[in-house]
Structure 1
C-alpha cells in the first residue's frame, strides 16, 4: 500500500530503474531531499504536485519508468522524449492528475481510457508503442485534449459520446478501422485527426462543429463532401489519399 510511503520514498522508487537518474536526484552519496531534485515542484505541504522532465530536461535519462509510484498528490506530469519504457496502468495514476504528457517514448501495452482519473484534462501519449482498442465513450468529463497518434491501437472508434469539454482529439497513424460518425462531435471542438488509419465508408460531414479549425482524414478510405461555406475561414483540411471532397 503506497499510501503508507513517504513522498521521498515514492519518488526514489519512481526513478529506481532509470539510467542517469543522478541528473534528477544527485549522486547517491548526497542523499538529496526531493525539494532539491531537478524538475520537481512541491506545494506548501512539501508534497509533489509537478514533475517536469520534458524536452528541455536532460536527454540522457532513459529506462523503465515505474509509473505505479507516482505520488497521489501529483497534478501535472511531463515525461516527453526520454526513451522511457514500461506500461501505463491508468488505474494506478494519481486520482487528481490534471495533465499527463508522455509522448515520444517507448511505453507499451494497453491504455484504458475508462480507468483514467476523472480530473484529467490533457493526455498526450503520441509516438509510443501502445496497443489495444479505444473506448472513447468512457473519457473523463473534463478532458480537453487527447492525443494518441502514432501508436498501434486497433478496432473501431465511437465518436458519438465525447465530453463537451473536448477541443482536440488525435488518433492519427494507428490501425483503427470501420466507419466513423461525425454528427455529434463536441460543439467547441477545434481539431480532429483521423488520418493514416483504415477508416472507410461514406461519411456525413454536414454537422461538423463550426469551431473546427483542423480535420485530418488523409490516407483513409473515407468518402463524403465537406461544405467549405460552413467552415471557419482558417479551416485546415488534410485529405490526401482519401475520397473526401470539398464543395
Structure 2
C-alpha cells in the first residue's frame, strides 16, 4: 500500500519526502517501486511482506538493519531507485537481470563497499567523481552506459572497477588511480586518445583496455611490479614496444590487432608469461625456442624462433 501511495505522488510531493523519517521498510518499497515484477522480491506490490522476509535481503542480527541486498539473477524487470537505499546497506548485487533506467552513483550509502550491476540494460552516464569513500568494488560491465568517465577522483580504497562492454567514450587518464586499485577493466567501449602506463598504482595486477579506439605509442618499461595481466589488443596503438623490462610476475600480455611495428627484443620475456599475443601487428624480431614454449602463444609471422 505504501508503494502505491508513493508512486502516485507528484514530483514536488516526492521532493518534500524526508528520507530520515522513513522506515527501512518504506525506503525499500521506494527502491523497488519501479519494478515490473516486485513479487519476485516482496510477495506482492499491494501488500508487501515484512522487509526482513524479502528475498535477497540480509538483516544484521544485532541492529536489525539491512546490510546487504543480493538480487543477483532474479529475473527482475523495470528500474531500481538507488537514492532510497537505506544508509546501512554496504553491499548491493543487481547483476544478471533485465533492469533499466539510470544509475545515480552520487547518492550511494556512505558505507557502501560493493556495487554489482553488470549484465543489465542500465543507461545514461557514470558519475565516478562522488563515489562513497568506503567503496571497494564497482562492477558495471555489459550495460548501455554512455559518455565520458573521470578516473582521477576515485575513492582511495577502490580496488576493483569493471565498466567493460558499454558505450563509454572520451579519453582515459590513468595517472591518478587510487593506490588500492588492483583490477581495472574498461574493454569493449569507445575510448580514444593516448594512454600513459608509467604512473599506474604499484599494486595493480590486471589492466584490460582492449577493444577501444586508443592510439599513440605505449611505454611498457615502467609497469607495476605486481602486474600479471595487461590487454591492449584491438586498438590503434602504434610505434615499437620495449619488452625488455616487463614485470617479473606478468603472465598475460596481449598486443594484437594494433599498428605496432619495428624490431623488438623478445629474448627477455619473463618466465612467468603464459599467454603472449602479438598477432596482427608489424612487430618483428627473434625469440628463443624455450620462450616459444608458452602455454598460449599467438605469434606474428615476422617473429623467428631460435635455439638458445
TM-score band by shorter chain is 0.7 to 0.9
Distance, in Å, in 2 between the alignment partners of 1:12 and 1:226 is: 61
| Long gaps (5+) in structure 2 | 1-17, 66-87, 288-308
Greater Cα offset, 171-180 or 217-226: 217-226
The answer to whether the aligner puts 1:213 opposite 2:254 as a matched pair is no
1:39 touches 1:53 (CA, 8 Å); kept in 2?
no
Q: Which residue is equivalent to 1:52? A: 93
Mean Cα displacement is larger for which, 74-83 or 23-32? 23-32
Residue aligned with 1:90, SS: coil
Does residue 64 of the first structure (1) align with residue 105 of the second (2)?
Answer: no
Partner residue in 2 for 1:29: 46
Distance in 2 (CA, whole Å) between partners of 1:98 and 1:141 is: 12
> Partner of 2:46: helix, strand, or coil?
helix
Alignment RMSD (CA, Å): 2.8
Q: 1:180 aligns with which of 218, 221, 230?
A: 218
1 or 2 for the larger relative contact order (CA 8 Å, sep ≥6)?
A: 1
2:178 aligned with 1:140: yes
**Counterpart of 1:136 in 2: which secondary structure?**
coil
The match for 1:236 among 275, 282, 294 is 275
Q: How many angstroms does 1:30 deviate by?
A: 3.4
Q: Provide the C-alpha distance between the structure 2 equivalents of 1:32 and 1:75, rounded to a whole number of angstroms.
A: 27
Structure 1 residues 39 and 61, CA gap change in structure 2 (3 angstroms): farther
In the TM superposition, residue 36 of structure 1 has moved relative to its aligned partner by: 4.3
Return the alpha-carbon distance in structure 2 between the equivalents of residues 207 and 240 of structure 1: 21
Matches within 5 A, 1:131-210: 131-210=169-248
Whether the 8 Å CA contact 1:11–1:69 is kept in 2: the answer is: no
Q: 1:166 to 1:11 in 2, by over 3 A?
A: farther
1:82 is aligned, of 101, 120, 131, to 120
SS of corresponding position for 1:68: helix
Structure 1 segments unaligned to the other structure (5+ residues): none
Residues 41/215 of structure 1: CA separation in 2 closer, same or farther (3 Å cut): farther
* CA positional deviation for 1:78: 1.1
CA distance in 2, matches of 1:39, 1:114: 34
Q: Which of 227, 232, 236 is matched with 2:266 structurally?
A: 227
Matched positions, count: 244
- Structure 1 position 239, deviation (Å): 1.6
> 1:37, CA displacement in angstroms?
4.3
TM score, norm. by length of structure 1: 0.86
Q: Name the stretch that deviates more: 119-128 or 29-38.
A: 29-38
TM-score of the superposed pair, with normalisation by structure 2: 0.70
Query: Secondary structure of the equivalent of 1:138?
Result: coil
Q: Distance in 1 between matches of 2:227 and 2:236?
A: 23
| More moved, 18-27 vs 170-179 | 18-27
Computing the radius of gyration from Cα coordinates, the structure with the larger value is 2
Q: In structure 2, how many angstroms separate the alpha carbons of the residues matched to 1:124 and 1:85? A: 16
CA contact (8 A) 2:139 2:163 kept: yes
Q: Does the 8 Å CA contact 2:174/2:195 hold for their aligned counterparts? A: yes
